[in-house]
Amino acid sequence: MSTLTKTLLLFALSLSAASAAPAGAAAGMDLDLIKNIKNYVMPTILHDINTLQLPRIEYKGGYVDNLAFQFNLASNDSVQFSFDPAQNAVVLTAQNIFGQITGNFKQRLLLISATGKFKAAFKDGGISLKVVVPLHSQLVDGKLLPKVEVTTFNIAFDTKKIVISIWGGFLADIGDLFIGLFKGTIIKSIGNGINQNVGPKLNTSIQSLILASNGVLPLYKGISMDIQFPADPLVTSQSLGLYLNATIFNASNGYRVPDSVIQDVSLNFTSSNQILIDTSRWVTDSVLDLVQQTGILDILIDQEMLGPVYGPQFLNTSFGDGVFPGLNAKYGRNQPMSLRIFTSKAPTSFFHVGQLGIETTFDIDVFVRDQLAVSIRVINADGSISVALDKGTLSFQILELYMNDAVVLSSEIGDIPIWDLKTFINFAIKLGLPYMNGFLNRGIPLPDTYFDLVRIKDASFTAMEGYVQVGIVPEFI
């Protein structure tokens, strides 16, 4: 896959929007960020031109063939990106391309024919380029996929900046005739040949890549993101806009849709040189479902885990009888206890300004000598979490968790007073959180690079009312 193909696809996956649409995420970048990629785009375009093999070009009175191109860019400063809302497109222009075209020619003058070689040298600015890339969506086998299509690829030559040299045994009149024709008919035909070949070649590569993705972007070790487009991309004068389904799932477990309803999300502003992603509950709930699948929300706390000091002190029936009267009578004094804290269903998320919220229902099973003594269900506990990206690893931490309601599912020691139940649950939460966070802090290692083009240099997570704004600082490599 060429660098330009990857870059154009990256456009379709990293954009920005200013109005709402039903989606999991609205993502975006502004012009300042896009300008950083011109160092990668132009060398690839020039490579595609310089390796192009055009067939013989015939014209009235002769032909040129064996054409070879050597085009270069004098400075990246002349490469400009802009947005065209009317075409919903990204536009690239370059003004100071220089280089040469070499080849063979055959020219007739009346009854005389002559053959030779030529070199057409272009001074700085002798060649200019304009590329227009509209962004849309397309329905393929029931999936809404990005459509990135080069509709305009136009290379133009300034005939005032061409110096033509020719070699061979022919009359000067034939040479003058060929030079005159080259600056008119021939160079126009060469330009048309470049335009008609390079643009479609790019489209074929991009479309093949998009179709091969099947609307799925692999992230890390079987973890993927649904990159379907619930709505068409949007282009404004200063930003690119895209809405994504953005469900994150483990491919080995099959596609899992979160219980939350896909929401209207919007990106109402852009930030220079960042990719901003506004994510709804749809996305975060799919991440929490992934966490649930890993099993790290199912922990067993026993005396060994607490260590030789605190384990025997707290996890025994004599201590537990203060919370659950009847443990000593049923199982005897100082018998070892263990707690299993687990979620049968993935937690869900909610967002307020300054709070990344989590809501969950979980069970606490109390065992004595491996026998189930009490089973409790904590209903709709809520709290706050933090998310961080450090050295390429995305990690989570539960900051606090509060109980709202609880029921006893089973008890081998009779009725349990509600006050004793709340006391025990708060104790269990405080006991279990450090161990659960120990697993969560291991995090999810993210890929070092994306599309071999960009790595994530830094990221921030800001809770807003109803959504989380993710700010990503990319580094092009």
**pLDDT by residue, tens only, the chain of 477 residues:** 444 444 444 444 443 334 456 788 888 877 777 777 777 788 888 999 999 999 999 999 999 999 999 999 988 888 888 889 999 999 999 988 999 999 999 998 887 888 899 999 998 889 999 999 998 888 888 888 888 889 999 999 999 999 999 988 766 778 889 999 999 999 999 999 999 999 998 888 888 888 888 888 887 778 888 988 888 888 888 888 788 888 888 888 888 778 777 776 765 555 667 788 888 888 889 988 988 888 888 989 899 988 888 889 889 999 989 888 899 999 999 999 999 989 988 999 999 988 889 999 999 999 999 899 999 999 988 889 888 877 777 778 888 888 888 889 999 999 887 777 777 788 778 877 887 788 777 777 776 666 666 777 778 888 888 888 888 877 776
d(CA 155, CA 93): 10
- Cβ distance 467 to 284 under 8 Å? no
441: left (phi over 0), alpha (psi -120 to 50) or beta: alpha
Helix axes 187-213, 3-13, angle to 10 degrees: 60
Q: Provide the token pair at 465.
A: 């009312």
Q: Name which of 392, 396, 394 is nearest 455 in CA terms.
A: 392
Give the sign of the dihedral formed by CA 160, CA 166, CA 170, CA 172.
positive
**Of 275, 226, 195, 242, nearest to 88 (Cα)?**
242
CATH code of the domain made up of 33-213: 3.15.10.10
Q: What six digits make up the tokens of 431?
A: 């006991």
Q: How far is CA 11 from CA 119, 176, 241, 243, 271, in A?
A: 38, 47, 10, 13, 16
Q: Letter for the amino acid at 476?
A: F
Query: Which one, of 78, 88, 84, 85, lies nearest residue 41 by Cα?
Result: 78
| Cα 335 from Cα 328, distance rounded (Å) | 8
The whole-number pLDDT of residue 297 equals 85
354 conformational bin, left if phi > 0, alpha if psi -120 to 50, beta if neither: left
Which residue's entry shows tokens 């060929």?
178
The Cα–Cα gap between 219 and 255 comes to: 14
Q: What totals of helices (H) and strands (E) does the chain contain, helices first?
A: 10, 27
Pairwise CA distance, residues 473 & 458, whole Å? 5
Question: Angle at which helices 303-314 and 418-440 pack, to 10 degrees?
Answer: 150
pTM score: 0.75
Query: Which pLDDT value is given to residue 25?
Result: 87
CA atoms within 13 A on the CB side of 448: 2
375 and 363 in contact (C-beta within 8 Å)? yes
Residue 192 in tokens: 């048309």
Rounded to whole angstroms, what are the CA distances from 23 to 150, 227, 265, 379, 464?
26, 11, 6, 29, 17
Q: Where are the domains of the chain?
A: 33-213, 295-444
Q: Report the SS3 class of residue 258.
A: coil
Q: What is the CATH number of domain 295-444?
A: 3.15.20.10
Instruction: Please say whether the beta carbons of 449 and 13 come within 8 A.
Output: no
**In sequence order, which residues have a C-beta less than 8 Å from that of residue 288 and are 6 or more positions away?**
258, 346, 347, 348, 349, 358
Q: How many C-beta atoms lie closer than 10 Å to residue 47's C-beta? A: 14
Instruction: Kindly state the greatest CA–CA separation across the chain.
Output: 122
Instruction: Please count the other Cβ atoms lying within 10 Å of the Cβ belonging to residue 198.
Output: 20
Tokens of residue 358, six digits: 């989590």
